[in-house]
Structure 1
């Protein structure tokens, strides 16, 4: 009896269950679609945010690289306007500032071109304080009379008692050489013998050239200039056409021709204190002597072996500045007697090319005269081009 019972709704229950199942599948499908849509939306927003952040980072990097600092992004137009105005004002000021700087640089360049370190505004050379040419340094010059002349421009660079007449001692031998070479009548290779007439009877100085020593005239001139050999100079003046009086007259005539109005010679050796001149006038003598190749060579030679007929003698340069290569010169001469003190004249070659005449009279010692030459050479090498 139970097996024959039927449900009250017949076939309605399976149909309802089928519809319910279909509705659940549709709902699930819609939910999945909604979920996928939401995920896609979120993914898109995330990608946009990431792209925007990357772009902003690139802009910040470019700004930092160009200016060396980070810039603040202005968000409001009202805040950006004053900034643009300030930048405009700065931009307007920059050309004027650049022009002013350029003008200053041009002025400085023009001044540097017009006024080099070795010359004042007048264009004449001068000794510079930064090169040691100071009042204190000048007080350390030992020579009583000094004259320094830039031969290139004719500009006196330093003077001390330049017009004071004083004995010049063996500086005389430059004039002796000039007068001897000017006569051009006696062969330089012929030998000349030292005689009693060549001995010093004024100062009674000693010489290694004994009476009877025989030298070529060229060697006589060489050791008279290089080593200030008195008997050699005396022998040359005696051997002159007309004798020694004619030679002395020719020396004084040549001094007058050179404009040396305060210069006078009594003998060819310089042993007489009556052989006088001034530092300024000796500059003219140095310039004249420099025109003779033989005087230049002989006065600058450091040493020479001389054949005196009965043996040989070694001679050295009496100027230690030349002997030890402390200065570069084209002609030089030293001199000493008690009345004159130690004297030196030079035609220095500054930087091996620029001639400057230096005459120094009356140092109390040979070292003082040498140190004066070194000090003046330093002034010149630093101050002149």
Structure 2
């Protein structure tokens, strides 16, 4: 009996040891797994941060493309002598009427003045209005009533410039940036050329008459397209009213109301899709107007030059917008795009390279758009991945969008160079050695293997103990039998 109790105690201790050992191993593995998961989550957050930056960079490469919209028909007859309708995303021309003919721009010149202000100044910068800026403009021309010596921020000056076409604000901004209106005009012309304008020359920042001061409808569209990239410009050009408050330097409170009636709901010329505009008029330029509007993810620019009446400039613009929006649509071919599938389909990438780049958590602009005709079949657009690396910037390559064998555009594929995966790839190491998701899975498998191993050991131990117990029991029986035989012989 004592031996049986001893056996049970031994068996209990053995079981306790095995279970505790297994639990310790499992806990350690779980702890390691949690640590790996935490690190992986940290890497993921870094990758997401990199994703945002990568998308921003992607938009700088190319925001979209267009296809098959060069031969649109049925455009309305307009009064203006020059006009253009342009895709604000790509600069593609949907409509043109003497679009490259030189015309006087009048106050839509101020779009370029505003562009240079947002590019070269902080909105909080302070401008001091000089006597030359306030009194050096043509008598009777548009003004906000800002007095000599007034100190206004660039932001306040831009509201005066864009809403009420304040010529003194244009001159003051020019002096603030370049020292004089003459030098600023040179900067304006230089910037226009950089934007691709081929028939534009500026002589002043406000658009008052000058024979050497001219542009075209197409060029003006390019200037507005660039200005629209700045949120400050969009906000100001679409504002209906703004107040310049009286201060130590500004003698009176000034209420500014946007001259562009196409933006004002209480106007007969209101167009509900218009988001920003700038008007212009001189006796030689006649009426000019630049407007941008958005409908169903399509954003268009309309430029009107030399129109015969402000009312005509509004109705011409609205007619062109209505026609254009009915002609085109915007499609996003990368919404359901599979980068992994596209990479695999690229036969020029060898298998080892493919395995590495598919682990990089690469990102791209899923909102890349293509402007097409309304009846266009989206399935006709083709997408493909092109490997074209730049490890300094983290560019892996491009997604190329095409149709009928013609390349329409491309957008960058990038990865986070600060992540462990990105660093390993750039250093030529095996990417999955640095992935935390892979070791997590491996450690879980290790835990399972250890559990099986301990279970087998436990089973073997139990079997051995049972065998030993059986042998001991047989030995005891044999011993008792011999004792009985011995006692009988003595009797």
Note the aligned Cα RMSD (angstroms): 2.3
Provide the C-alpha distance between the structure 2 equivalents of 1:330 and 1:124, rounded to a whole number of angstroms. 23
| 2:129 maps to which of 193, 203, 209 | 193
Provide the C-alpha distance between the structure 2 equivalents of 1:281 and 1:305, rounded to a whole number of angstroms. 32
Q: 2:148 — aligned with what?
A: 211
> Does residue 313 of structure 2 align to residue 332 of structure 1?
no
Q: 1:278 — aligned with what?
A: 216
SS in 1 for 2:177: coil
**TM score, norm. by length of structure 1:** 0.61
CA shift in 2, pair 1:381/1:201, >3 Å: closer
| 2:317 maps to which of 348, 354, 373 | 373
Q: Do the aligned residues in 2 keep the contact of 1:127 with 1:384 (CA within 8 Å)?
A: no
Provide the C-alpha distance between the structure 1 equivalents of 2:179 and 2:146, rounded to a whole number of angstroms. 24
Q: 2:171 — aligned with what?
A: 234
Q: Do the aligned residues in 2 keep the contact of 1:148 with 1:359 (CA within 8 Å)?
A: yes
Q: Do the aligned residues in 2 keep the contact of 1:350 with 1:380 (CA within 8 Å)?
A: no
Provide the C-alpha distance between the structure 1 equivalents of 2:185 and 2:89, rounded to a whole number of angstroms. 32
Provide the C-alpha distance between the structure 2 equivalents of 1:142 and 1:214, rounded to a whole number of angstroms. 42
Pairing 1:48-127 to 2, within 5 Å after superposition = 123-124=68-69, 127=72
**Uncovered stretches (5+) of structure 1, i.e. residues with no partner:** 1-121
SS in 1 for 2:83: strand
CA shift in 2, pair 1:218/1:158, >3 Å: same
| 1:146 maps to which of 67, 71, 83 | 83
| 1:183 maps to which of 120, 138, 162 | 120
Provide the C-alpha distance between the structure 1 equivalents of 2:263 and 2:229, rounded to a whole number of angstroms. 19
Q: Do the aligned residues in 2 keep the contact of 1:194 with 1:231 (CA within 8 Å)?
A: no
Q: 1:294, CA displacement in angstroms?
A: 0.9
> Does residue 226 of structure 2 align to residue 288 of structure 1?
yes
Q: Do the aligned residues in 2 keep the contact of 1:124 with 1:153 (CA within 8 Å)?
A: no
> Does residue 295 of structure 2 align to residue 350 of structure 1?
yes
SS in 2 for 1:298: helix
| 1:384 maps to which of 309, 312, 328 | 328
CA shift in 2, pair 1:155/1:251, >3 Å: closer
Provide the C-alpha distance between the structure 2 equivalents of 1:312 and 1:272, rounded to a whole number of angstroms. 30
CA shift in 2, pair 1:154/1:234, >3 Å: closer
Q: 1:257 — aligned with what?
A: 194
CA shift in 2, pair 1:232/1:163, >3 Å: same
Q: Do the aligned residues in 2 keep the contact of 1:145 with 1:162 (CA within 8 Å)?
A: yes
**TM score, norm. by length of structure 2:** 0.48
Provide the C-alpha distance between the structure 1 equivalents of 2:156 and 2:136, rounded to a whole number of angstroms. 20
SS in 2 for 1:297: helix
Q: 2:262 — aligned with what?
A: 321
CA shift in 2, pair 1:256/1:153, >3 Å: closer
CA shift in 2, pair 1:344/1:327, >3 Å: farther
